[in-house]
Amino acid sequence: MKVIISGCGKIGTAILQSLIKEEHDIVVIDTSANVIETISNRFDVITLCGNGASYDVLVEAGAKSADLFISVTPSDEYNMLACFVAKKLGVRNTVARIRNSEYNNSGFDYIENELGISVSVNPEFLTAKKLFDVLSLPSATSVENFLASDMEMIEVVVKDDSKIENLPLYELRKKIPRKFLVCLVEREGKVHIPNGNFIIKAGDKVGLFASKTDANEILKYFGYNKKRIKSIMIVGASKIAFYLSKLLIGAKSSVKIIDIDEQKCLEFSEKLDKATIVHGNGMSQELLIEEGVLSTDALVTLTGKDEQNVLMSIFANNKNVPKTITKVNREEILKLSNELGLDTVVSPKQLVADLIVSYARALESSKNSKIETLYSLFGGMAEACEFKILSNFKTTNVPLKDLNISKRVLIAGIIRNGETIIPCGEDVFRIGDKVIVITAEEPVYDLSEIIG
């Protein structure tokens, strides 16, 4: 697929890095000659130095025959204009980053339609949503909601004193009388899809496919007995903090936001009535303790500096704050998060990159099945795809045990009429079903490719 990316900052580079793994033909546009030089040395793409909203530059980049145009420059207006021009030139799909909440209101559909923007992404809101999901299930290190169903993928580390240690999975299923499935296990840095004889040990990170209502109950067996999070402390009055606070306040949690910049504090206190805003340096441990970090349920560090976020979270972990979430942008630190003993780590740019990759895959998908959504799991080491079965799909109404399904994937669920079935050998695929496929190796682009 021909893809044009305009703007190659943090987010643009993360998108580029993910898309290049999918073997797309990519043209990168940026106004900075230095950025362009670095990109052309690092990636196998064509680079163009210029204004991504300019007609001439877009023509030179091949917009007339491109399939996807992504504008992720820092300016919303610029991105909208670039998408508009690109669409008029003949690009089939356009993605714009639009962050300003003043655009993201009820009239936004109108803007999207008129300007020909296929998808708009707001990395900050996306991150806030993800953080909110994690905070609603604090035992998990990560939670992924499957859009089409009431199920979620919960990533959780098995504790030393859990009741299920050293049990094979088939026993586990008998022991816990709920609808769930252990899909993935991470041990010693590698992710596997386990079979029924797999024995879980303490320290393993497992991926649980379970319904939202059962989640807390199931997690008890894994050694977790956490209460709902009611009070949250956020350091850094960023856009993410704003969206997250709104979501949390909506869920009746108490929120305290700390920031070093007085102006921002004033702004926040004007916009967020129910939150407590503190003006001070979050890096000061004394201040954190004074503001009650020891009694809070969760600390979320969202300042612009990765190092500061990491240090604050480590401090909170040592003080036994029940839940800490760290925002990290640099990959180097993301990779170190285990060594640093961090609990949950989120990377906004990776969230956006995952979203765009799943969108690009959906554009490419074949006639007999369609990728609806793609979820990146275990820090990108595994994936869950939601396929929709279309009328051309061949092997419908055949029991799964009679299909030769590839060993490298797991069919975690079949969603039919809003109900999720965790399939056994007798279940069948029907037209219109949505199928959730988990893979830990090569990505799956088409459902029929896993049926050999």
Partner 1 sequence: MNYKLILSTVLKVIKIEAVLMLLPLITALIYKEDCFYSFLITMVVAFTIAHVVQKFIKPGEFYFYAKDGLITVSLTWIAVSLVGAVPFVLSGEIPSFIDAFFETVSGFTTTGASILNDVESMSKGTLMWRSFSHFIGGMGVLVFIMAITRKTTDRPIHILRAEMPGPIVSKLVPRSKDTAKILYLIYMGLTSILVVLLLFGGMDLFESLTHAFGAAGTGGFGIKNNSIAGYSPYIQWVLAIGMLVFGINFNLFYLILLKKIGVIFKSSELRTYVLIVISAVALITFNIYPLYNNFSSAIRSATFQTSSIMTTTGYATADFNAWPNLSKIILFTLMFIGGCAGSTAGGLKVSRIVIALKKIKAELKKLLYPNTVSVVKLDGEKIDEGVTSGVSTYMSIYFICFVILTVLISFNGLSFETTVSSVSACFNNIGPGFDLVGPTSNYSVYNGFSKIVLSIAMLLGRLEIYPLLLLLMPTTWKKK
Candidate ranges 6-14, 36-44, 266-274, 364-372; the one touching partner 1 (CB under 8 A): 36-44
Candidate ranges 43-51, 231-239, 241-249, 316-324; the one touching partner 1 (CB under 8 A): 43-51
Contacting residue, 31, 38, 40, 118, with partner 1 by CB under 8 A:
40
In contact, 278 and 266? CB cutoff 8 Å: no
Q: Please, which residue, 50 or 280, has the CB nearer to partner 1? A: 50
The values of phi and psi at residue 315, to 5°, are -60, -45
As a whole number of angstroms, the distance between CA 62 and CA 40 comes to: 17
Q: According to the binding rule CB under 8 A, does residue 43 interact with partner 1?
A: yes
Q: How far is the CB of 42 from partner 1 (least distance, A)?
A: 7
Candidate ranges 37-45, 275-283, 300-308, 348-356; the one touching partner 1 (CB under 8 A): 37-45
Contacting residue, 11, 14, 15, 26, with partner 1 by CB under 8 A:
26
Q: According to the binding rule CB under 8 A, does residue 46 interact with partner 1?
A: yes
As a whole number of angstroms, the distance between CA 55 and CA 190 comes to: 47
Q: Is 38 exposed, middle or buried (0-12, 13-18, 19+ CB in 10 A)?
A: middle
Q: According to the binding rule CB under 8 A, does residue 41 interact with partner 1?
A: yes
DSSP character for 228? P
Q: Please, which residue, 45 or 135, has the CB nearer to partner 1? A: 45
Q: Please, which residue, 41 or 105, has the CB nearer to partner 1? A: 41
Angle at 246 between CA 243 and CA 250, to 5 degrees: 145
| Backbone dihedral region for residue 206 (phi beyond 0: left; psi -120 to 50: alpha; all else: beta) | beta
Candidate ranges 25-33, 160-168, 283-291, 334-342; the one touching partner 1 (CB under 8 A): 25-33
Quick one: the chain helix, strand, coil %, rounded to 5?
Answer: 35, 25, 40
Residue 13, strand partner residues: none
Cα dihedral angle (288, 294, 297, 302), rounded to 10 degrees?
A: 20
Candidate ranges 19-27, 269-277, 282-290, 308-316; the one touching partner 1 (CB under 8 A): 19-27
Q: Please, which residue, 46 or 336, has the CB nearer to partner 1? A: 46
Q: Please, which residue, 33 or 421, has the CB nearer to partner 1? A: 33
Tokens representing residue 375 in the block? 């979820």
As a whole number of angstroms, the distance between CA 33 and CA 39 comes to: 10
As a whole number of angstroms, the distance between CA 297 and CA 443 comes to: 37
Q: Which of 381, 303, 315, 386 is CA-nearest to residue 348? A: 303
Contacting residue, 32, 33, 65, 399, with partner 1 by CB under 8 A:
33
Q: Please, which residue, 19 or 293, has the CB nearer to partner 1? A: 19
Q: How far is the CB of 262 from partner 1 (least distance, A)?
A: 44
Q: According to the binding rule CB under 8 A, does residue 27 interact with partner 1?
A: yes
Q: How far is the CB of 193 from partner 1 (least distance, A)?
A: 25
Q: According to the binding rule CB under 8 A, does residue 42 interact with partner 1?
A: yes
Total number of residues binding partner 1 (CB under 8 A)?
Answer: 12
In contact, 201 and 166? CB cutoff 8 Å: yes
In contact, 128 and 145? CB cutoff 8 Å: no
Q: Please, which residue, 43 or 445, has the CB nearer to partner 1? A: 43
Q: Please, which residue, 21 or 175, has the CB nearer to partner 1? A: 21
As a whole number of angstroms, the distance between CA 161 and CA 152 comes to: 25
Q: According to the binding rule CB under 8 A, does residue 25 interact with partner 1?
A: yes
Candidate ranges 20-28, 230-238, 304-312, 428-436; the one touching partner 1 (CB under 8 A): 20-28
Angle at 206 between CA 122 and CA 435, to 5 degrees: 65
Q: How far is the CB of 3 from partner 1 (least distance, A)?
A: 9
Q: At 38, which helix (H) or strand (E)?
A: helix 33-42
Cα dihedral angle (146, 149, 155, 161), rounded to 10 degrees?
A: 170
Q: Which of residues 369-408 bind partner 1 (CB under 8 A)?
A: none
Candidate ranges 23-31, 257-265, 286-294, 399-407; the one touching partner 1 (CB under 8 A): 23-31
Residue found under tokens 């690092």: 42
Q: According to the binding rule CB under 8 A, does residue 45 interact with partner 1?
A: yes
Q: Could you list the residues that contact partner 1 (CB under 8 A)?
A: 23, 25-27, 33, 40-46
